[in-house]
Amino acid sequence: MSSATDDAARWAELFGIAAPPGEEEQSTRRRGLLGRLKDSLTRPQQAISPQLAGVFAHKLVTADMWDELEEALISADCGMDATLALVEELREEAGQGRIVSGSEVAPALAKAVKAMMAPEPPKLEIGDSPTVILVVGVNGSGKTTTVGKLAHRLSELGQRVVIGAADTFRAAAVEQLAVWADRSEAQLVRQAPGADPGAVAFDAVSSARARGADVVLIDTAGRLQTQRNLMEELRKVGAVVSKADPTAPHHTLLVLDATTGQNGLSQAKLFGEALPLSGVILTKLDGTAKGGIAVAVNRELGIPIVLAGVGEKLEDLHPFDAEAYARAIFSGPESAETPR
């Protein structure tokens, strides 16, 4: 199967909408998450982590091998809890004779990670218009860029997009978003720097309703999850959006940097307390062979990963594919290649 058409289909499936005609042709230029990840992972200096390579090189299953696997998973930021669960599961399989060598650990691990993360493909339904999507996260996680990419994707799928520039705090955040809006042919709703973010969000939703737009993407200012007043502000943005439309926000997405360590758990927990999270967007997956924090967040807080960012270009955002992710990150490029 070609991953390009696969990707377009995945987008349509993610949003619960039909892909417009011609999409298939256009998307031959693009490759799915698997392809992009493989690219970044097969660059000369980078394969899977040396620790995992070491595990897979074992001829026979030994106690040392399990220790090494544990270390490798921790080194991928999976966290203690998820790591122990994964190792335990694989040990059981080995006990039943299904794993006898290190090389067999690779596919089994990918399978276990996938099962732990997402038995079902992620969903981000675009329903009755306008669907309001609130994008939240800590400073520098990649919210603005992600909003730009998401707007681009939605526009390509024939959706009319309004972007609300509710990051009124960071210098030039609105200008940055304006560039992205321009590139993705989305309508930008903005106010002066320092304006009330709730007011911007309200404006964006009202304006989208007036124009009959399909989707409203609201970019919020980055904030550390421990800043109580800023988290309160975020809660207020959510409440104000609900005033404009009682069913909104329809989705609240947390943007999580894939290079984040165990603090990602605190981020997901505290942002979730401010506003119920419908999913996580894992960004900068191209910069690291890890991103295991996604496994930990998914396991401990039950929040699904819906999208993955793998580069700086407009096209570099993909519906999260747990299998591609698990294979690319935890089994290495060789096994990521095989079934294509």
Partner 1 sequence: MFDSLSDKLQGVFSGLRGKGKLTEADIDQAMRAIRLSLLEADVNMAVVKQFTKSIAERAKGSEVMNSLTPDQQVVKIVNEELTTLMGESNVGVPFAQRPPTIVLMAGLQGSGKTTCCAKLARYYQQQGRAPMMVACDVHRPAAAQQLAVLGEQIDVPVYREDGSDAVGIARRGVDEARSKMRDLIIVDTAGRTVLDEQMMDELVEIRNTVKPTAVLLVLDSMTGQTAVEVAQAFQEAVQFDGAVLTKLDGDARGGAALSVRATTGRPIYFVGTGEKVDALEPFHPDRMASRILGMGDVLSLIEKAQQTIEVEDPKALEKKILGGGMTLDDFGQQLAQIRKMGPIGQLLGMMPGVGKKLKDVEVDERQIDRVQAIISSMTPSERRRPEIINGSRRQRIAAGSGTSVQEVNQLLSQFKQMRKMMKRMGRGGLPQLFGT
Using CB under 8 A as the criterion, which residues of the chain lie in contact with partner 1 when the complex forms? 40, 43, 45-46, 51, 71, 74-77, 79-80, 138-142, 145, 169-173, 175-176, 178-180, 224-229, 257, 259-267, 269, 284, 286-288, 290, 292-293, 312
Instruction: Tell me how far apart the alpha carbons of residues 149 and 109 are, in angstroms, rounded to a whole number.
Output: 31
For residue 75, the minimal CB distance to partner 1 (Å) is 5
Angle (nearest 5°) at CA 51 between 50 and 56: 95
DSSP state of 338: T
Phi, psi of 39 (to 5 degrees): -55, -55
For residue 23, the minimal CB distance to partner 1 (Å) is 26
- Token pair belonging to 325: 């992710």
- Token pair belonging to 5: 């058409």
For residue 171, the minimal CB distance to partner 1 (Å) is 4
Instruction: Tell me how far apart the alpha carbons of residues 243 and 253 are, in angstroms, rounded to a whole number.
Output: 19
3-state secondary structure of 223: coil
Q: For residues 89 and 169, which CB has a smaller minimum distance to partner 1 in the complex?
A: 169
Q: For residues 4 and 147, which CB has a smaller minimum distance to partner 1 in the complex?
A: 147
For residue 209, the minimal CB distance to partner 1 (Å) is 28
Encode burial over 9-48: b for 16+ CB neighbours within 10 A, e otherwise.
bbbbebbebebeeebeeebeebbbbbbbbbebbeeeeeeb
For residue 12, the minimal CB distance to partner 1 (Å) is 28
Instruction: Tell me how far apart the alpha carbons of residues 81 and 296 are, in angstroms, rounded to a whole number.
Output: 7
Q: For residues 260 and 331, which CB has a smaller minimum distance to partner 1 in the complex?
A: 260
What DSSP element (H or E) covers 145? Answer: helix 143-156
Q: For residues 229 and 338, which CB has a smaller minimum distance to partner 1 in the complex?
A: 229
- Token pair belonging to 64: 């040392």
Residues listed for the chain: 340
For residue 169, the minimal CB distance to partner 1 (Å) is 7
Of 266, 204, 208, 197, nearest to 236 by C-alpha is 197
Q: For residues 103 and 266, which CB has a smaller minimum distance to partner 1 in the complex?
A: 266
Q: For residues 57 and 80, which CB has a smaller minimum distance to partner 1 in the complex?
A: 80
Q: For residues 130 and 222, which CB has a smaller minimum distance to partner 1 in the complex?
A: 222
For residue 40, the minimal CB distance to partner 1 (Å) is 6
Adjacent-strand bridge partners of 163: 188, 217
Instruction: Tell me how far apart the alpha carbons of residues 32 and 141 are, in angstroms, rounded to a whole number.
Output: 22
For residue 229, the minimal CB distance to partner 1 (Å) is 7
Q: For residues 141 and 159, which CB has a smaller minimum distance to partner 1 in the complex?
A: 141
